[in-house]
Chain A
Amino acid sequence: MGEAHVRAPSAAGARRVEAAIRRRTARGERALVPFLTAGDPSEGESLERLRACADAGADVLEVGLPFSDPVADGPTLQAAAFRALAAGGGTETTFRLVSRLKAERPDLPVVLLTYLNPVLRPGLEAFMARAAGAGVDALLVPDLSLEESDPVRRAAHAAELGLLPFAAPTTGPGRLARLAEVAEGFVYCVARLGVTGANEEVAESAAAVVRGVRGVTDVPCAIGFGIGTPQAAAGAARLADAVIVGSALAAPAAGDGPPDARSIADLLGAMRRAMDERTRAGQEGS
């Protein structure tokens, strides 16, 4: 890490997320962070898929609370959110699923991805208490800018939940320095411009985002957006500490049929292997 930035104390939940990633990186491996929208396509099937992610070697699980207006998401995750909402999903279902999963896997850290309004509506304190009670460890809120984040962070920390920051290809040095002051758990490095969606390869812009973040903080970097194939996962593993996979799990490549727990486990398994080969090759090469 470059010049020292003061790092605020992180929440207990964020430390659990960070520790899970460091368990991998300490072995020279990279962490895998699958993302699923809670309640997609139904509560029962969603639980199966969450279990499949845990079994396929997820180091941290990212669970999405479905929202009516997901502005940071592309068509695949929009459709997943609308399916979940149409099936009666929402805040209640999401917390029930997290809590059932945590009952089975108490050691698997869960990061809740939610847009801001479902957090605000019941009141920050009430929402955080419910999240913590369900077993959530940290939050990612894609439409919450750094500028507006202080009240949310205070409420999250009061419930021992982390609030993880985003870095994007457009994030300049000044903002990176401010981000470093509040970074905890991992920094979500947005690999490319635009919204979520699976790509064949990790975007070239991802390397610069990670480099910028590494220059200001030693909090782990996770790359997300566009990690659609084992090849892309391996590419991201070369750059960062963790790899986030979302859209590819909600809608596998055309012709493969609808995703189920089995196909999700297969894809994650293939990604895990590709990442491990790539990091091993990297170590031997260096």
Chain B
Amino acid sequence: MPQADATGHFGPYGGRYVPETLMPAVLALEAAYREAAADPAFWGELEELGRTYVGRPTPLTEARRLTAFTGGARIFLKREDLCHTGAHKVNNTLGQVLLARRMGKRRVLAETGAGQHGVATATAAALFGLECTVYMGAEDIARQALNVYRMRLLGARVVAVESGSGTLKDATNEALRAWTADPDAFYVIGSVVGPHPYPTMVRDFQSVIGREVRTQALAATGRLPDLLVAAVGGGSNAAGLFSPFEGDDGVRMLGVEAAGEGVESGRHAASLSAGEPGVLHGALSYLLQTPDGQVRVAHSISAGLDYPGVGPEHAYWRDSGRVTYTVVRDDEALEAVAWLCRLEGILPALESAHAVYAAVRAARDMAPDETIVVSLSGRGDKDVETLRARGLGQQGGER
């Protein structure tokens, strides 16, 4: 598996850009993770939790009607939507909470956008009896009420973040501030972002997705997939799917960013496609920003992709060309939700729908004997209010 260098750099990207107050906690985390990662018992416990608690391995479902509708390559769906709590996020939170317990921590902090990572953190904290506080933007609280309630049911304290745009970026700022005030707490970051070791650690915990796909694709088709597709906000499900295939030159990879209302509109979340390198939340990576280096507010219909930054390893893959990145608009993602509901009986998360749309677009240019694996990173129950407001599912309507 590819690794960042000893100081957490993927080429020029990554690193550790945090206030001095936090640096000792970041270094202690790095040492603890290095030690845990070398301990087979640590991975054994995580694997057992995956099997007995999360429901792993998650299925690889062949989307036959979607493939027929598209015409072109065979499309398979990696069903992370069937994970306990409804998304891939729990793969990471269980890993980090196991590490927190190993470090003797009693309290965990987390930021959340759509609320999926918050729910997954609250879940892992409940399972291990840790105190849990989740920071969430006020705007996101308004559009993801169901997940707010779920976190509270699970015993977490949800703190509304009013400052800035009231979304994931601001929730992350506030979680970092809270960690600065309480460096003895364990900060559970939800994506492959943040200071080293988070991008590496979160990718490692999520790489179970790609490892399973490898085995399942070989079993289903007798060979590795030709193309992997995953949505990229911070980029954890994509990094988890891609990283085990990084050395397989025949496997192409496509990361899908949210184009919102269109990249040209300026209302989007396409950091890799339309941003420039910059430092936010502890790492150097691509960033939506002004010519003066002020961070721009991102936009996506999907709260989980609504983030102006991206993980540093994706920045590295973008520059090296190992992964291709494309964009999908809000309206296209909605179209993909409708396809998957009507053709496969699966309600995908809006985040995952971006990947589905891009996969369909790619499949049309591929041969019928080629295969695509799409990361269906989460289920769409959380998005039903948004879907209803956009007119999906009306009786008699085309959608």
Contact = CB atoms under 8 A, between A and B. Distances in A.
Interface in A168-182: 168-172, 175
Interface in A159-196: 165-172, 175, 190, 193-195
A78 B170 CA distance: 11
Interface in A113-155: 115-122, 142-148
A142 B23 CA distance: 11
B181 A117 contact: no
A72 interface: yes
Contacts of A146: 20, 23
Contacts of B183: 170, 193
Contacts of A168: 19-21
A45 interface: no
B312 interface: no
Q: Which bucket holds chain A's interface residue count? A: 35 or more
Interface in A65-105: 67-72, 74-75, 78, 82, 85, 90-92
Interface string A19-52: 0000000000000000000000000000000000
- Of B279, B280, B284, the most chain A CB neighbours within 10 A belong to B279
A67 B295 CA distance: 8
Given A117-B278, A117-B279, A119-B293, A69 B173 contact: yes
Contact of B182 (A68, A75, A144, A193): A193
Given A121-B278, A166-B19, A195 B293 contact: no
A148 B293 contact: no
Interface residues of B, number: 39
A194 B180 contact: yes
Nearest to A67: B294
Interface in B7-23: 7, 15-23
A171 B20 contact: yes
Contacts of A69: 164, 169-170, 173, 280-281, 295
A147 B24 CA distance: 11
Given A117-B279, A117-B287, A117-B293, A143 B19 contact: yes
Contacts of A172: 24
A117 B16 CA distance: 14
A116 B279 contact: yes
B163 A170 contact: no
Contacts of A118: 292-294
A224 B64 CA distance: 63
Contacts of B18: 71, 143, 145
Nearest to B165: A68
A72 B180 contact: yes
Nearest to A148: B15
Contacts of B278: 117, 120-121
Contacts of A167: 20
B356 interface: no
Given A69-B169, A116-B17, A143-B19, A92 B292 contact: yes
B163 A90 contact: no
A144 B278 CA distance: 13
- Of A143, A144, A171, A193, the most chain B CB neighbours within 10 A belong to A143
B362 interface: no
B181 A194 contact: yes
- Of A69, A92, A167, A195, the most chain B CB neighbours within 10 A belong to A69
B396 interface: no
B163 A75 contact: yes
A36 to B, nearest CB: 19
Contact of B289 (A121, A142, A193): A121
Nearest to A91: B292
B291 interface: yes
B298 to A, nearest CB: 12
A171 B294 CA distance: 29
Interface in B284-309: 284, 287, 289-295
B279 A147 contact: no
Nearest to B25: A170
B246 interface: no
A195 B291 CA distance: 27
Interface in B124-168: 163-164
A118 to B, nearest CB: 4
Nearest to A70: B173
Contacts of A91: 292-293
A259 B249 CA distance: 62
A120 B278 CA distance: 7
Contacts of B23: 145-147, 170-171, 175
Contact of A142 (B16, B19, B182): B19
A145 to B, nearest CB: 5
- Of B177, B183, B280, the most chain A CB neighbours within 10 A belong to B177
B180 A195 contact: yes
B291 A147 contact: no
B230 interface: no
A75 B164 CA distance: 11
Contacts of B180: 71-72, 193-195
Contacts of B24: 170-172, 175
Nearest to B15: A148
Nearest to A194: B181
Given A117-B287, A147-B16, A193-B180, A90 B164 contact: no
Instruction: Please provide the 8 A-B residue pairs with the shortest distance between their CB atoms, ordered closest to farther.
Output: A121-B293, A194-B181, A118-B293, A168-B21, A166-B20, A117-B293, A68-B295, A170-B24
6 contacts: A69-B169, A117-B278, A117-B287, A122-B291, A144-B17, A165-B20
Interface of B: 7, 15-25, 163-164, 169-170, 173, 176-177, 180-183, 276-282, 284, 287, 289-295
Given A69-B281, A71-B18, A82-B164, 18 more contacts: A69-B173, A69-B280, A71-B19, A82-B163, A90-B290, A91-B293, A116-B17, A117-B278, A118-B292, A121-B290, A143-B18, A146-B20, A147-B7, A166-B19, A168-B19, A170-B24, A175-B23, A190-B19
